[in-house]
Structure 1
Amino acid sequence: MTRVVVFGATGMVGQGVLREALLDSTITSILSIGRRSSGKEDPKLSEVILKDPSDLSSVGTNLAGFDACLYCLGISAMGMSEKDYTAITKDMTLRVADSLLAQNPSMRFLFVSGDGTDAKSRMMWARVKGETENALLERSPDGAVMFRPGLIEPLHGIKGQQSLVYKAVYAVAPLLRGLRLPVTNTEVLGRAMLKVAKQGSAKKILSNADINNLAAGTLGKCGE
């Protein structure tokens, strides 16, 4: 039986993760923390609405006793300065990790990053996410696990990015998958994250292929 905290449950990735967590009978308690309600109702789901989801001072000891954090909160770097993107992607994430790990030292902290993430990259988003990954792994060498999906196809009524570019890309997702490009979907990513939340992962950085294989049960024992 596993208790999880979910951040970003109203975003595309978070919606997929929350859906799978609600369907999973071995997940006994879900705490969703975000700026607005997920709109879901379930006996095992509770929600905390905060103007700043990284400021958990008002939640206090209610954060204790959780097994894993599924951190799905994120934003596109398009049109953002590096300073603003870092504040949301890196600074907020690390404040949350520090607060949760203080009360749950053995917690598994699962961070949704992205294919191409690299702290030495010339691309701003990849560099900032890479720096965030490194900082999380330093804070929790045993419990932190990075997920690097490629294109994430929204399923089960979940809405993805609404720009014309993304809509076109979603439409050709099957073709991209056939070309062996990094493609996954919200259901697969959710299942893979829950598997790691429950069992941990020997591998600390999971590629798009790892995510798909893990959800399908073909990656061995959580990344080995």
Structure 2
Amino acid sequence: MSTKIRAVITGATGMVGEGVLQVCLQNPQVEAVLIINRKPAGISHPKLKEIIHTDFYDLSPIASQLSGYNACFFCLGISSVGLDADAYYKTTYTLTTHVGSLLSGLNPDMTFCYISGAGTDSSEQGRSRWARVKGKTENDLMKLPFKQVYAVRPGFIKPIPGQTRVNRWYKYINWMFPIGRSLFPGGFCRVQELAGAMIYVTGHPYEHKILEGKDIIKLAAMENAGE
């Protein structure tokens, strides 16, 4: 019997989070979704509950509302472009591990899926600052007492048609997707595949805890096939 999923989704006002939320709301395996936002997402659905909370570095005021979930799809993130090192570290590492620490204490049966990125540095020793910080975030999340933690590393992500929270430059490069997918199949995935892979591993433990592009596509196909 398939695992019924009760998911917490962060970053629902961003492109990836919005797409993952749309997929989850349409997937019959997902029975409830909680989104935590600084501002309303403007979405209404029978499965959906939204908490407006401005300080993601202190979730203690809403902690009583965060139990009873068995998945977290962590889609909140920022680009390192234009940010100084301290600001990027605080938003990427400190915020993420705070949320993870709280959720793991409340929901030990939870599968935590962290949207990281292709090229992340698990060694934490490489030359790229963003890759080191992402790697440290992945590594320390995996030390938390969750049932499972997966670091999800997509490359280029194609949004769902009709999404409203898409960077304007995507309309100029979306045409590249079929070409890129053909030449570098692991480097290009659809939001539907990203969400499908996370839904799948919540109910079906996977041998690799770091999900690269090819893993994402493979697991999404297994989810679609009902395996």
| TM-score, structure 1 as length reference | 0.91
Q: Contact 2:10/2:37 (CA < 8 Å) preserved in 1?
A: yes
Paired-residue identity, %: 38
Name the residue aligned to 2:206.
Answer: 201
The residue that corresponds to 1:150 in the other structure is 155
Instruction: Identify which of 7, 10, 15 aligns with 2:10.
Output: 7
Note the C-alpha offset of 1:5: 0.5
Contiguous gaps of at least 5 residues in structure 2? none
**Partner of residue 70, structure 1:** 73
Q: How many residues align?
A: 219
Check if 1:189 corresponds to 2:189: no
1:35 and 2:13 are equivalent in the alignment? no
Determine which of 158, 174, 193 is the counterpart of 2:178: 174
**Cα distance change on mapping 1:71 and 1:54 into 2, 3 Å:** farther
Matched-pair contact (CA < 8 Å) for 1:153–1:160: no
Q: Which amino acid aligns with 2:175?
A: A
Which residue is 1:160 aligned to? Answer: 166
Matches within 5 A, 1:117-128: 117-118=120-121, 119-128=124-133
1:53 counterpart residue number: 56
- From 129, 132, 142, the counterpart of 2:137: 132
Structure 2 counterpart of 1:32, one-letter code:
I
Deviation at 1:200, TM superposition (A): 3.5
Do the aligned residues in 1 keep the contact of 2:8 with 2:33 (CA within 8 Å)? yes
The reply to whether residue 107 of structure 1 matches residue 85 of structure 2 is: no
The answer to whether the Cα contact below 8 Å between 1:173 and 1:183 also exists between their aligned partners in 2 is: yes
Pairing 1:67-106 to 2, within 5 Å after superposition: 67-106=70-109
Shift of 1:53: 2.7
Q: CA RMSD in A?
A: 2.0
TM-score, length basis structure 2: 0.90
Q: How far does residue 142 in structure 1 lie from its aligned partner after superposition?
A: 4.5
Answer yes or no: is the 8 Å Cα contact 1:145–1:201 preserved in 2: no
Instruction: Work out which of the residue numbers 210, 215, 221 in structure 2 matches 1:216.
Output: 221
* 1:6 and 1:69 in contact (8 A); partners too: yes
Query: 1:64 is matched by which residue type in structure 2?
Result: S
Q: How far is the alpha carbon of 1:198 from its aligned partner?
A: 3.0
**1:26 has 2:29 as partner:** yes
Q: Could you tell me how far 1:195 is from its partner in structure 2? A: 1.4
Higher mean displacement: 77-86 or 138-147: 138-147
